[in-house]
Amino acid sequence: MPLPGDDHLFEKRKTRLAVLVSGGGSNLQALIDAIYVRGEIDGDISVVISSNAGAFALKRAEQFRIPAAVASLKDHGSPESRDAFILKTLREYAADYVILAGYLGILTDGLVKAYENRIVNIHPALLPKFGGKNYHGLNVHRAVIEAGERKSGATVHFVDTGVDTGLAIAQESLKVLPEDTPQSLQARILDEIEHPLLVRVVRDLCDGKIKVADGKVVYEK
Ligand code: GRF
């Protein structure tokens, strides 16, 4: 039976996030700002894992004293051994969710299954269009412009064992302008859509508003 003054023992444990990165880390920064600067997300970034030791994202983690690890294919030799290391790190930091924020590696099936429905990715296009192995970075936006699409945007989805094929959680779009180049489209989508969309979804994930039931996403908005 709880005694007076014991309330703190029953405080909700904050959701623990692991953020996987590969490059500049602007999506990571959007999450850091939302959590630690604006206090908009009831969660913690427990660890940042980078596929590359030179990623600027690591500097961002360091600046906010967030523990970080490097899990590169170069050091581990195979995707399986790299992902065994990632899984060990996720368990060490008791991560509840894994957020792929500009992460360029493709996770092995073993890792995806160990964290089934708990790995989320943000992709800079309106999936299922312009997704898959070759669609990353500027390639996505170049393909969108070449196809004459009138709209593009970003999709946040759960990660399954395919590439960009998991259940969609949220998607937002903007107009492709006649004067858009792959660079300008990438910049607008990153700024106007990806950052706020990722923050919103991660916030709702931490609040327990997003679940998977019977193979469908249930999003209580
Ligand atoms: C951009 O290409 C973005 O569209 C994609 O990841 C890259 C951004 O990475 N989702 P980062 O978050 O700035 O490292």
pLDDT in 10s for each residue of the chain, 221 residues: 555 555 556 667 899 999 999 999 999 999 999 999 999 999 999 999 999 999 999 999 999 999 999 999 999 999 999 999 999 999 999 999 999 999 999 999 999 999 999 999 999 999 999 999 889 899 999 999 999 999 999 999 999 999 999 999 999 999 999 999 999 999 999 999 999 999 999 999 999 999 999 999 999 98
Q: How far apart are CA 23 and CA 54, in angstroms?
A: 8
Alpha-carbon distance of 168 to 156, in angstroms, equals 6
Distance CA 119, CA 111 (A): 10
Please state the atom number of ligand 1 nearest to the C-alpha of residue 189: 4
- pLDDT at 31 (0 to 100): 98
Instruction: State how far Cα 48 lies from the chain centre.
Output: 11
Residue nearest to atom 8 of ligand 1 (CA): 102
Q: Are 37 and 4 in contact (CB under 8 A)?
A: no
Helices (H), the chain: 26-32, 56-63, 73-76, 79-92, 109-114, 138-146, 182-188, 195-206
Per-residue pLDDT at 190 = 97
- Cα dist from 115 to 18, 160, 221, whole Å: 12, 10, 24
Quote the pLDDT of residue 49.
Answer: 98
pTM of the entire predicted model: 0.93
What is d(CA 30, CA 122) in angstroms, rounded to the nearest whole number? 13
Measured from CB, residues less than 6 Å from any atom of ligand 1 are 21, 23-28, 57, 101-102, 122, 124, 137, 186, 190, 194
Distance 20 CA to ligand 1 centre (A): 11
Q: What is the pLDDT of residue 12?
A: 72
Residue nearest to atom 13 of ligand 1 (CA): 26
Which ligand 1 atom is the nearest neighbour of the CA of 136?
A: 2
Q: Give the model's pLDDT for residue 70.
A: 98
Q: Which of 205, 211, 217 is nearest to 40 (CA)?
A: 205
Q: How far are the Cα atoms of 2, 17, 60, 95 from residue 10, in angstroms, in the given order?
A: 9, 21, 33, 20
What separation, in Å, do the N-terminal and C-terminal C-alpha atoms of the chain show? Answer: 35
Which residues sit opposite 100 in a β-bridge? Answer: 20, 121
Ligand 1 atom having least distance to the Cα of 30: 12
Strand partners, 157: 121, 168
Residue of 22, 27, 29, 32 to mutate, ligand 1, most atoms within 8 A of C-beta: 27
Nearest CA to ligand 1 atom 2: 137
